[in-house]
Amino acid sequence: MPFGESVVSRNQLRNVVSREVYTANLGFVGLGVMGSRMVKRLLDAGHGVTGYNRTKSKAQWLLDAGMKWADTPRAVAKAAEITITMVTNTQALQAVTSGRRWHSGRTRQQGKFILT
């Protein structure tokens, strides 16, 4: 092959390595040490995140980073395609997922939950 010729042109290579990026509209309940770091990474990746935490002030830095706030776990679930909970223990999970705040019309039909 003569000097200066390439097997693959730059445009062809760009087409091979480029890919579409899909973003999701996510909900997050529980913005403590682990949950808040996960939300920050999701925001940095371009996903929309709506969050809830019992103490809103602890989530201020995430609000400043672009997270949307919901006043209840139910409001998070209604706003999101997928809702993730990241709470301390079983009792906290039961508190989040029981009662009117969660069950009364909580989701879109296609909503999915990841309960941890």
Instruction: Establish if 116 belongs to a structural domain.
Output: no
- Write down the pTM of the prediction: 0.71
60 to 23, 36, 40, 57: CA distances (angstroms): 23, 10, 12, 5
Q: What is the pLDDT of residue 6?
A: 46
Residue range(s) defining the domain that contains residue 83: 44-102
Q: What is the pLDDT of residue 45?
A: 92
Residue 72: Cβ-neighbour burial (10 angstroms; 0-12, 13-18, 19+)? middle
Instruction: Establish if 69 belongs to a structural domain.
Output: yes
Position of tokens 């062809």?
12
Q: How confident is the model at residue 30 (pLDDT cuts 50, 70, 90)?
A: very high
81 to 71, 111, 112, 114: CA distances (angstroms): 17, 5, 6, 11
Instruction: Establish if 79 belongs to a structural domain.
Output: yes
Count of domains in the chain? Answer: 1
Average pLDDT, the chain: 79
Instruction: Establish if 66 belongs to a structural domain.
Output: yes
Strand order in the sheet with 68-69: 68-69, 48-52, 25-29, 82-85, 112-115
Give the pLDDT confidence of 76-92 residue by residue, as tens digits: 988 999 999 998 888 88
Facing residues of 28 across strands?
51, 84
